[in-house]
Amino acid sequence: MNTLKYQSQAVAKPYFVFAMILFVGQILFGLLMGLQYVVGDIVGGLIPFNVARMVHTNLLIVWLLFGFMGAAYYLVPEEAETELHSPKLAIALFWIFAAAGVATILGYLLVPYATLAHITGNDLWPTMGREFLEQPTITKIGIVVVALGFLYNLGMTILKGRKTAINMVMMTGLIGLAVFFLFAFYNPTNLALDKYFWWFVVHLWVEGVWELIMGAILAFVLIKVTGVDREVIEKWLYVIIAMALISGILGTGHHFYWLMTPAYWQWVGSIFSAIEPLPFFAMVLYAFNMVNRRRREHPNKAATLWALGTSVMAFLGAGVWGFLHTLAPVNYYTHGTQITAAHGHMAFYGAYAMIVMTIMSYAMPKLRGVGEANCNRAQVVEMWGFWLMTVGMVFITLFLTGAGVLQVWLQRLPESGEALSFMATQDKLAIFYWLREIAGVVFLLGLVAYLYSFFVTEKKAA
Ligand code: HEM
Ligand code: HEM
Ligand SMILES: [Fe+2]
């Protein structure tokens, strides 16, 4: 039984499957680092902390990109009411991106980073060595090539088809993603300047254009599972993206407080980033509103749960935990502490990991030819996955926040002289790091349940 509206939507499936494989890798390296935090080296120096960190964060970004691409290949043709311009190109780009991704991760793991930089010609065009952007220059060029092919394919599809608000917002977000990535190629030797432009990628992604991608995917899934009129959802979508861009662009200033930038950034950054929680809050209102006003009972309960869950968790992680440390007088004390890590974890999971799982939950039964929804047993297991991962992440965030508050208390607040050193402080936080690791294991169990749900079928009566 094939339940796809357009056959070419099928290209989304390998993207989703590969995203999940990388997700597993990301979590295993997270847990490894969590252990290194409390017991030190446990793998005989084979995988140093800095390498594990790079693998953890790069796998995260790459699996989210695979997820966004899968989402786009699935929803753009359906919205445009036409087949994808070139399914062959989509599959070719999948293999190129997957091969480049695997080669890069193996490069991180198998050779020292400096050697990797040397053999990939970093001297010719230095772009390596910055958090999230550690990829060799040649990999970065590969990413741009894949992105161009991807945008071309989607653009041609939209041009020949129906132009909906969802498709326009999705395309704007994806083009923005590609454009801001270009700052990864600019690597000034002055460290302050380097950091300044680094945030053009990192901040303008997660607090700018990625929000458009999230809003578009959420709108698509909500229309499908609730049957609410497109016009209603589109109005919300416009309000959300306007708020996201108005607050998020100048909100970049919350990273310019301590970079030797002019002092007015402390005002601009504080004021505009304080508005940033609003679009996330609007997404909560909109998701719950639409589900309450639903015109149909969609059999895919799990997809509805993910759609509601991502709005709440994104608001908590980005909105609440972001606001916590965004005002300059607070950030003066919390900058670069475990508070930052707490926020980074919940925001990335709540907004972007969960929105990818939302569209996967909706689309995978159709992509796999199961029908509108998985059987009840599979959905129950999937919801166990949802809750274990989400509760695991809530506790990871709470324990890191505890660690962060104590860190500020011991290391940052006391007058110099009485303040504990960085490492002496870290020793006092061990209990929180142990608890974080336990919460991380709960998260892993949730991920296992989630993946297992793809293999659960209805029990046949004997
Ligand atoms: C889904 C959206 C978001 C994601 C994925 C996200 C993720 C992150 C990450 C990973 C970092 C750490 C970057 C580093 O390595 O230094 C960070 C820093 C920060 N985020 Fe967010 N964030 C989001 C939204 C927000 C919002 C809405 C606010 C404000 C209301 C905010 C405020 C901050 C601040 C102030 C910092 C700097 C912390 C420091 O000084 O150490 N974030 N964010
Ligand atoms: C489940 C168990 C997990 C554990 C034990 C874990 C552990 C860690 C550790 C130890 C770091 C390095 C912190 C440092 O530099 O001191 C880190 C960084 C990071 N992890 Fe995880 N992680 C886990 C899951 C996740 C998930 C699910 C996400 C997002 C979906 C995520 C996103 C990140 C990000 C964005 C950073 C960089 C944070 C920053 O720069 O502040 N992690 N993680
Ligand atoms: Fe930011």
The string of DSSP codes covering 175-188 is HHHHHHHGGGG---
User: Model pTM greater than 0.95?
Assistant: yes
Same-domain status, 278 and 423 = yes
Residue 330 alpha carbon to ligand 1 centre in Å:
14
pLDDT at residue 462, rounded to an integer: 55
Check if 8 has its Cβ closer than 6 Å to any atom of ligand 1.
Answer: no
Residue 30 alpha carbon to ligand 2 centre in Å:
6
Residues 6 or more apart whose CB falls under 8 angstroms from that of 243 comprise 275, 278, 279, 282
Q: How far apart are CA 288 and CA 297, in angstroms?
A: 15
Q: Which one of 121, 147, 163 terminates a domain? A: 163
In a domain, 275, yes or no: yes
Same-domain status, 22 and 119 = yes
In a domain, 177, yes or no: no
Check if 344 has its Cβ closer than 6 Å to any atom of ligand 1.
Answer: yes
Same-domain status, 270 and 412 = yes
Q: How many domains does the chain have?
A: 2
Domain extent for 332:
217-455
Same-domain status, 146 and 7 = yes
List, for residues 179-193, the tens digit of each pLDDT value.
999 999 999 999 999
In a domain, 82, yes or no: yes
Same-domain status, 297 and 431 = yes
Least confident of 30-34, 62-66, 212-216, 291-295: 291-295
Same-domain status, 254 and 130 = no
In a domain, 206, yes or no: no
List, for residues 204-241, the tens digit of each pLDDT value.
999 999 999 999 999 999 999 999 999 999 999 999 99
Same-domain status, 91 and 223 = no
pLDDT at residue 53, rounded to an integer: 97
Q: Which amino acid is at 186?
A: Y
* Measured CA distances, 379 to 152, 308, 373 (Å): 36, 16, 8
Same-domain status, 152 and 258 = no
List, for residues 335-354, the tens digit of each pLDDT value.
999 999 999 999 999 999 99
List, for residues 248-294, the tens digit of each pLDDT value.
999 999 999 999 999 999 999 999 999 999 999 999 999 999 999 99
pLDDT at residue 41, rounded to an integer: 85
In a domain, 316, yes or no: yes
In a domain, 171, yes or no: no
Check if 269 has its Cβ closer than 6 Å to any atom of ligand 1.
Answer: no
Q: What ligand is nearest to the CA atom of residue 311?
A: 1
Same-domain status, 433 and 338 = yes
Q: What ligand is nearest to the CA atom of residue 343?
A: 1
Among the residues of 40-130, which ranges form H helices? Answer: 49-80, 87-110, 113-119
In a domain, 211, yes or no: no
Report DSSP letters for 26-62, one per residue: HHHHHHHHHHHHHH---STTSS-HHHHHHHHHHHHHH
In a domain, 447, yes or no: yes
**40 burial level (CB within 10 Å; 0-12, 13-18, 19+):** exposed
**20 burial level (CB within 10 Å; 0-12, 13-18, 19+):** buried
- Give me the torsion for CA of 161, 167, 173, 174, rounded to 10°: -40
Same-domain status, 159 and 224 = no
Same-domain status, 41 and 113 = yes
Is the pLDDT confidence value at 425 over 70? yes
Pocket test for ligand 1, best of 205, 254, 393 (most atoms within 8 A of CB): 254
Task: Report residue 189: phi and psi, to 5°.
Answer: -75, -25
Residue 423 alpha carbon to ligand 2 centre in Å:
20
pLDDT at residue 50, rounded to an integer: 95
Pocket test for ligand 1, best of 65, 202, 203, 207 (most atoms within 8 A of CB): 207
Half-sphere exposure of 393 (CA within 13 A, CB side): 26
pLDDT at residue 461, rounded to an integer: 59
Same-domain status, 293 and 436 = yes
Identify the CA nearest to 99 among candidates 143, 39, 58, 129.
143
What CATH number should be reported for the domain holding residue 356?
Answer: 1.20.210.10
